[in-house]
Structure 1
Amino acid sequence: MQKTNIMQSETIPRLLFKMSFPMMLSMLIQALYNVVDSIFVAMVSETALTAVSLAFPLQNLLISAAVGTGVGINSLLSRRLGEGKHEEANHVASTSLFLAFAMWVLFVLIGVFFTKPFLALFTKDTELLKLSTSYSRICLIVSFGCIFSITIEKLIQATGNSVQPMTMQLTGAITNIILDPVFIFVFGLGVNGAAIATVIGQIASMLLAIIFFKKNEYISIKFKDIKPNARIIKDIFQVGLPSIIMNSIGTVMVSLINKILILFSATAVSVFGVYFKLQSFVFMPVFGLNNGVIPILGFNYGARNKKRMLDTMKLGLVVALLIMITGTICFQLFAKELLSLFSATEEMYRIGIPALRTISLCFIPASISIILIASFQATGFGLASMMVSIIRQLVVLCPCALLLSRLIGINGVWYSFAIAEIFGLLFSVIFFIHVYNKKIKNL
């Protein structure tokens, strides 16, 4: 007999805390890893830091594919559990593991054949190209730990358990932080050492994920069931594919912005890479909140409980705003101190201080968009989240950055982020009104 799921029995504040806080904490640790990793790399040289920044789009593509598919898995599985279709939920889980394996094979091929040609589009510097290529290849070819840990994390989250995913992420991040200086400095592997520490941390997270998954009380699958199911794959990618595209747009955006910035200097690319590491301290907790909100919304959408859905969204918006307001204040007041963590040169300070202060203006409108997008993903309308990202990052941000960089210089690139986020918020509100009227209002 199936136990009563906390998604339908717990009060919303307690449920959101239970679901989101562990994920927010684990993502803060993940953000800490991102920053510590770059701090160690910056100690090697500014060229090494630039190499990792150039490799970021390929890493982001990997994470986007795994997380985007995971969003589709999470949404579908939580809805099936909310509908009481437990056998169908098992089939969703088994198909998800097959998709994880197929995704790993794809990224091995990308790592082997496409890494160097892609990175060569952004630099002709032989040393920089060599460092960024080797770093990227290690991360992509040995990506099975990353992909399987994310997939299983989303499966476990959908059953209402957020403590285990937190523990998995903590294990990976802490392992990574400990091994970084060992491989970079003790073994003298430099940038490659950072990549090796990264994949070992991901494998550690995956191994713990497998242990937790075997003990899950809501999902039960057998090895022979891990095979493709066309109907389930279609349902997963109905939400997951727009999310993959939405997140992958970040890869295109970062690549285009790097292309614009490198015309100014390699230091400008390093500053942009540092910004992305630092902003993760602000965005990662909100994404953790988002990861807690989606299964609650998805379950209660399946159970046709409108009040619990709306209560979850209202509380999520308040928490997201508080986090982003705090982040904005920190970036405005302590920009120089934040840059100093990365062995900043005078040139990095000159470019980076106005960059951090200007881009952080986008934090507050972004917080509202992120929570609204959770409602699109939870109700199976992932297309709306994809459209918001396309509008924000490709239609507005990149053209605006190119135009303003030519009109007012490098600061125009930073202003384009705030402009794009305002457009993103506008369209998020428009799409939410549509989703509410079509899917939520009459529950």
Structure 2
Amino acid sequence: MLRTDATSSSLGLALWRQTWPMAIGVLSLLGFQLIDSAFIARLGTASLAAQSFTFPLSFLIIGVQVGMGIAIAALISRALGAGETDRARRLGSLVLLVGTLVIAALALGLWAIQAPVFRRLGAAPEALGLIRDYWGPQLVAAWLGALLYFGYSLFRAHGNTRLPGTLMVVTSLANLMLDPLLIFGIGDWPGLGLAGAPWATVLAFLLGLVTLGARLSGRGWLAADGLREESRQSLRPFLGIAGPAMIGQLMPPLAAMLAISIVARLGESEVAAWGLISRLETVSLMAVLAMTMSLPPWLGRCYGAGDWPQVHRLMRLALRVAVFWQLALGLSLALAAPWVAAALAGTAEVRSDLAILVRCLPPSYAALGVCMLVVSAGNALGWPLRAMMMSAARLFAFYLPCLGLGAWLGGLMGLTLGAAVGNLLAGLGAWGLLRRTLASPRRQAI
């Protein structure tokens, strides 16, 4: 179990120990998704654009699973911090059962409404056939990925980040080995084309689930008795965290749908380039994403123990790491933009568009990282509604208005600069919210 009374001198080391396994795991997981898109780019601009249209709906599933995962980690870590071990076991069992059913129902719903939704996003009629071939196995992969994520959340709530990080690496390597075989084929077998990418992910995630199940058995973190009573007792606090968290996590897919519809007006190559920069964005934010996974259980235990000075120290350290890391990485990517675009894009037109995006956007991810950490901390520290409001402001008050105005005024370059300005404004707003809230945390908890 993590200690909540770590001294300032050891705090950085403790944060590093909790974060580095998740950082490596997130890097491998998101890295294979980026390379996945790079493989698809070799099939042509039409295939890459078809995949890009599916990103907002894929993020919808991720938003629901992350919102539930936040609630899992927060409630279980608070129970452990208060010494309620039996309750933590019951909570673990409940969220695994409910999460499996919720994500399955969502995936079935998204399959049923795919045609009108993708048409609304701006997909041309000739692209719908490619999207349909890809979308079915992608939904299966998304469901399996959600089950893995819930298992990871259970381990993180108990202070174990090493196993989730390791499994992310293993599944990513398996996916990378299967990708070229299933997409392009081998020998006389021609491969599956665009559909091969999600089928590779399905097989990799199945491997991860088998391994996770074997490691979870015997841990004593689950319970079969008292689940009905626990569900009645915990439903309200679970919804109190998961509801705002899921709404906050569902807003990015909605914003992504609006963003892709704006980009679609610029052309097919711009859509393809936007899909690649979206993948690159998540990879470059891997350190921040890892901290959003490793910090909440720690913060939740501090919350349960009433150790607010430790919360202040943790947040100061995490924000400094995020800003300095993202600025250094973002500037490096901006300087290497032509080479990055050449490595990822399949055609000269997409390479040119992608280079513009890489030059301007990655440095702004430092401010975006601040906003992500503040939102993640809010769900663990008893003010989920404030976190949800900050997430809404980031997307709908800062990001999308700047994106749309930039595209209207200056095409792709204007869109890129608008997105960067939106990220900067969101980071400044989140910093202000954090300072005000931590000034009197108990009074402002919601």
TM-score normalised according to structure 1 size: 0.92
**Deviates further, 51-60 or 194-203:** 194-203
1:193 to 193, 196, 199: 196
Q: Distance in 2 between matches of 1:440 and 1:363?
A: 30
Distance 1:271 1:410, change over 3 A: same
Partner of 2:138: 139
**Deviates further, 382-391 or 432-441:** 432-441
Distance 1:212 1:224, change over 3 A: farther
Q: Distance in 2 between matches of 1:313 and 1:398?
A: 27
User: Once the 2 structures are TM-superposed, how far is the Cα of residue 36 of structure 1 from its aligned partner?
Assistant: 1.2
Partner of 1:333: 335
**Deviates further, 227-236 or 35-44:** 227-236
Verify: 1:222 aligned to 2:231, yes or no: no
User: Once the 2 structures are TM-superposed, how far is the Cα of residue 335 of structure 1 from its aligned partner?
Assistant: 0.8
The superposition leaves residues 368-426 of structure 1 with CA deviations (integer Å, 9 ceiling, x where unpaired) of 22232232121121222221221121223223322222222222211221222233123
User: Once the 2 structures are TM-superposed, how far is the Cα of residue 281 of structure 1 from its aligned partner?
Assistant: 2.3
Unaligned runs of 5+ in 1: none
- The residue type equivalent to 1:216 in the other structure is R
Please tell me whether the aligned partners of residues 258 and 269 of structure 1 are also in contact (alpha carbons under 8 angstroms): yes
- The residue type equivalent to 1:300 in the other structure is C
User: Once the 2 structures are TM-superposed, how far is the Cα of residue 272 of structure 1 from its aligned partner?
Assistant: 0.6
Distance 1:155 1:423, change over 3 A: same
- The residue type equivalent to 1:35 in the other structure is L
Q: How does 1:105-144 map to 2 (within 5 A)?
A: 105-123=104-122, 125-144=124-143
Unaligned runs of 5+ in 2: none
Distance 1:125 1:441, change over 3 A: closer
Please tell me whether the aligned partners of residues 300 and 309 of structure 1 are also in contact (alpha carbons under 8 angstroms): yes
Q: How does 1:284-363 map to 2 (within 5 A)?
A: 284-363=286-365
Q: Distance in 2 between matches of 1:134 and 1:304?
A: 52
Distance 1:168 1:236, change over 3 A: farther
SS at match of 1:229: helix
SS at match of 1:7: coil
Q: Distance in 1 between matches of 2:219 and 2:12?
A: 24
User: Once the 2 structures are TM-superposed, how far is the Cα of residue 112 of structure 1 from its aligned partner?
Assistant: 3.0
1:269 to 245, 268, 271: 271
Verify: 1:7 aligned to 2:9, yes or no: no
User: Once the 2 structures are TM-superposed, how far is the Cα of residue 441 of structure 1 from its aligned partner?
Assistant: 8.8
User: Once the 2 structures are TM-superposed, how far is the Cα of residue 438 of structure 1 from its aligned partner?
Assistant: 3.7
Please tell me whether the aligned partners of residues 80 and 301 of structure 2 are also in contact (alpha carbons under 8 angstroms): yes
Q: Distance in 1 between matches of 2:20 and 2:38?
A: 27
The superposition leaves residues 256-276 of structure 1 with CA deviations (integer Å, 9 ceiling, x where unpaired) of 121111111100011111101
Verify: 1:202 aligned to 2:201, yes or no: no
Q: Distance in 2 between matches of 1:133 and 1:228?
A: 41
The superposition leaves residues 312-369 of structure 1 with CA deviations (integer Å, 9 ceiling, x where unpaired) of 2222122212320122112210111111112443322332222222222421212222
Partner of 2:79: 80
Q: Distance in 1 between matches of 2:396 and 2:371?
A: 16
Q: Distance in 1 between matches of 2:225 and 2:177?
A: 34
**Deviates further, 154-163 or 115-124:** 115-124
The superposition leaves residues 209-242 of structure 1 with CA deviations (integer Å, 9 ceiling, x where unpaired) of 222222335x232388489814423322322222
Moved over 6 A (4+): none
Please tell me whether the aligned partners of residues 52 and 132 of structure 1 are also in contact (alpha carbons under 8 angstroms): yes
Q: Distance in 1 between matches of 2:226 and 2:210?
A: 20
- The residue type equivalent to 2:195 in the other structure is N
Partner of 1:413: 415
**Deviates further, 346-355 or 289-298:** 346-355
The superposition leaves residues 89-134 of structure 1 with CA deviations (integer Å, 9 ceiling, x where unpaired) of 1121121012212213312322431122211223453332111222
Please tell me whether the aligned partners of residues 6 and 160 of structure 1 are also in contact (alpha carbons under 8 angstroms): yes
Please tell me whether the aligned partners of residues 98 and 226 of structure 1 are also in contact (alpha carbons under 8 angstroms): no
Please tell me whether the aligned partners of residues 175 and 201 of structure 1 are also in contact (alpha carbons under 8 angstroms): yes
1:435 to 430, 437, 444: 437
- The residue type equivalent to 2:152 in the other structure is E
Distance 1:216 1:438, change over 3 A: farther
SS at match of 2:83: coil
Verify: 1:44 aligned to 2:75, yes or no: no
Partner of 1:401: 403
Distance 1:224 1:298, change over 3 A: closer
SS at match of 2:393: helix
1:244 to 222, 243, 246: 246
Q: Distance in 1 between matches of 2:5 and 2:166?
A: 24
Q: Distance in 1 between matches of 2:282 and 2:78?
A: 29
User: Once the 2 structures are TM-superposed, how far is the Cα of residue 155 of structure 1 from its aligned partner?
Assistant: 1.1
Q: Distance in 1 between matches of 2:284 and 2:325?
A: 7
Partner of 2:93: 94
SS at match of 1:409: helix
Please tell me whether the aligned partners of residues 123 and 129 of structure 1 are also in contact (alpha carbons under 8 angstroms): no
Q: Distance in 2 between matches of 1:407 and 1:238?
A: 41
User: Once the 2 structures are TM-superposed, how far is the Cα of residue 440 of structure 1 from its aligned partner?
Assistant: 5.6
User: Once the 2 structures are TM-superposed, how far is the Cα of residue 12 of structure 1 from its aligned partner?
Assistant: 2.4
Please tell me whether the aligned partners of residues 405 and 418 of structure 2 are also in contact (alpha carbons under 8 angstroms): no
- The residue type equivalent to 2:27 in the other structure is L
SS at match of 2:382: coil
Q: Distance in 2 between matches of 1:302 and 1:391?
A: 29
**Kindly, what percent of the aligned residue pairs are identical?**
22
Please tell me whether the aligned partners of residues 364 and 420 of structure 2 are also in contact (alpha carbons under 8 angstroms): yes
Please tell me whether the aligned partners of residues 369 and 424 of structure 1 are also in contact (alpha carbons under 8 angstroms): yes
Partner of 1:70: 69
